[in-house]
């Protein structure tokens, strides 16, 4: 199967379960103390796979599964799959003021804040910089806290393309770029550990700079070896592969 077939476009579902809050944690187990594996942002649709007295096992639009509190999703015939907002802003919903992060979804009745947003290296770079200095958060995908694959997923999401959730899944997509010198702004670089497992991803701003979430969303130097942290004057991540994602 061609890699592009794994892309998930934003208006592919017709569902009535959705997230009514700015950010909702999705957990590995049905317990408030359980690890957060990802998040839902306002307006995201979900499929309910199993419902218990307090918790529901859900599948998100990117296919990722986990548990959320039953109080943290609603059922409605409203659809929020038309506009993905590109900048955080305050939004009034059912009498409540919400501070929505980038990547939240609004219905067709709301302003078209990101409809028709251009797909270009410059626009991807501009979107990625909106997350600068966001603290690292395992399972996070908002300006309030984000992990490495959450960052790349959200940047592409704002531009109409929903990538898989994890770095290793994203690495299976796109065209391989064999020489770092041939990389372009918008290409994704993946990094592995000593066992050869892909554990990190970032987006190139140029053949020599990368934006990624490591401690916080930051811009570091990049070359054929990997990511060079100028502050500690050493490489922090070892390069595995570079991929070019095309719409």
Q: Catalytic residue positions?
A: 148, 200, 212
What is the Cβ-side half-sphere exposure of residue 247, based on CA atoms within 13 angstroms?
15
Handedness of CA 141, 102, 117, 15 (dihedral sign): positive
Q: Cα angle at 215 between 162 and 66, to 5 degrees? A: 45
Handedness of CA 139, 123, 179, 222 (dihedral sign): negative
């Amino acid at each position: 199967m061609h890699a592009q077939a794994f892309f998930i476009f934003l208006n592919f579902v017709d569902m009535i379960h959705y997230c009514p809050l700015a950010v909702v944690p999705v957990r590995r187990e049905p317990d408030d103390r359980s690890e957060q594996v990802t998040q839902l942002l306002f307006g995201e649709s979900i499929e309910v796979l199993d419902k218990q007295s307090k918790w529901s096992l859900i599948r998100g639009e990117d296919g990722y599964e986990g548990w959320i509190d039953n109080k943290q999703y609603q059922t409605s015939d409203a659809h929020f799959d038309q506009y993905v907002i590109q900048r955080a802003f305050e939004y009034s919903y059912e009498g409540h003021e919400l501070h929505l992060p980038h990547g939240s979804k609004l219905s067709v009745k709301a302003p078209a804040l990101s409809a028709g947003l251009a797909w270009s290296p410059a626009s991807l770079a501009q979107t990625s910089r909106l997350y600068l200095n966001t603290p690292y958060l395992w399972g996070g995908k908002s300006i309030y806290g984000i992990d490495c694959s959450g960052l790349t997923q959200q940047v592409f999401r704002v531009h109409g393309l929903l990538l898989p959730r994890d770095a290793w899944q994203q690495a299976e997509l796109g065209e391989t770029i064999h020489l770092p010198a041939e990389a372009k702004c918008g290409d994704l670089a993946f990094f592995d550990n000593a066992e050869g497992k892909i554990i990190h991803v970032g987006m190139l701003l140029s053949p020599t700079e990368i934006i990624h979430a490591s401690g916080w969303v930051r811009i570091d130097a990049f070359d054929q070896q990997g990511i060079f942290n100028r502050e500690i004057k050493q490489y922090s991540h070892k390069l595995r592969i570079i991929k070019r994602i095309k719409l």
